[in-house]
Amino acid sequence: MSTSDRPEHGPSPVDHRAAVATETARFVAAVKGADLATPVPSCPGWTMADLVRHTGSVQRWFSVLLRGRIQEPPRSRDVDLRLPAREGSWADWLADSATEAAGAFAATDPDTPMWAWGADPHARFWARRMLFETLLHRVDAELALGIRPGIDRALAVDGVDEFLVNLPFATSFAPKVANLRGDGETIRFRCTDGDGDWLVRLRPDGFGLDPAGEGADAADATVRGAAAGLLLLVYGRLPLDAEVFEHTGDQELLARWFANSEF
């Protein structure tokens, strides 16, 4: 696997491009034959059809960006989505969206410099971002259908990292993130099932991750849980008071974080 697929902070290398295909296949398997009018509780107001359309549209949109190797924020989001003509074709359309993505990945070196709204201005940013859009919405679909979702631990670790690395740059579409400022307060997220340890520091001008290994024993608040649980926590799919988490330290700081970090 190319070293360009390695996250900057996460301990486990992940092939984001291959994982997009795998996660989409799992998503397709879940929704094939399902009632697309099924509500999706983890995405309030959405039906299964909305969820599938959103995920496939993101994959096709990101694929256009990759093929164009864009160097500045796009002025238009108009993309030929080739939406299915028949209601029963949405699962196949989603599978075709992943095929579009695979073609864009094959045509674009992940180290290619590109505009990105987040921390890493290279093509690999979009593959990594596409993966976690797909994975989280696959989980949403399975939860809505009463299927117990499984999440690969290495993907979960990488997903927590991707979320925390890019969150400081998300104010254009998540304006409450701008409220996450402080005077050096720290929040640690630590995996209980292997590697995965992040220290977020709030500063007067914003927040970010401290370099790996710094402040190993000190944090104003700490949240511990399995990697898959932490991924669902940071994305709001599990509450902090779920039994799978242990959280210690400044609870008001944790409440402020989760009230303002919605992606």
pLDDT in tens, 88-123: 799 999 999 999 999 999 999 999 999 999 999 999
Same domain for 178 and 75: no
Q: Which of 118, 150, 182 corresponds to the end of one domain?
A: 150
Q: Which domain holds residue 14?
A: 3-150
**Per-residue pLDDT, 213:** 61
CA distance 33 to 90: 10
Instruction: Kindly state whether residues 190 and 241 are assigned to the same domain.
Output: yes
Within a domain: 137 = yes
Do 121 and 30 reside in the same domain of the chain?
A: yes
Task: For residue range 15-33, list pLDDT tens digits in order.
Answer: 999 999 999 999 999 999 9
The confidence score (pLDDT) of residue 217 equals 67
Same domain as 181, residue 54: no
Mean pLDDT on 72-84? 88
CATH for 239 = 3.30.1050.10
Q: Domain check: are 39 and 145 in the same one?
A: yes
Mean pLDDT of the chain: 93
Give the model confidence (pLDDT) of 132-171 as tens digits.
999 999 999 999 999 999 999 999 999 999 999 999 999 9
CATH code of 96's domain: 1.20.120
Give the chain's domain count: 2
In a domain, 163, yes or no: no
Residues 26 and 83 in one domain: yes
Has residue 71 been placed in a domain?
yes
> What confidence score (pLDDT) does residue 6 get?
41
If asked whether residues 100 and 55 sit together in one domain, one would say: yes
* 155 domain residue, yes or no: no
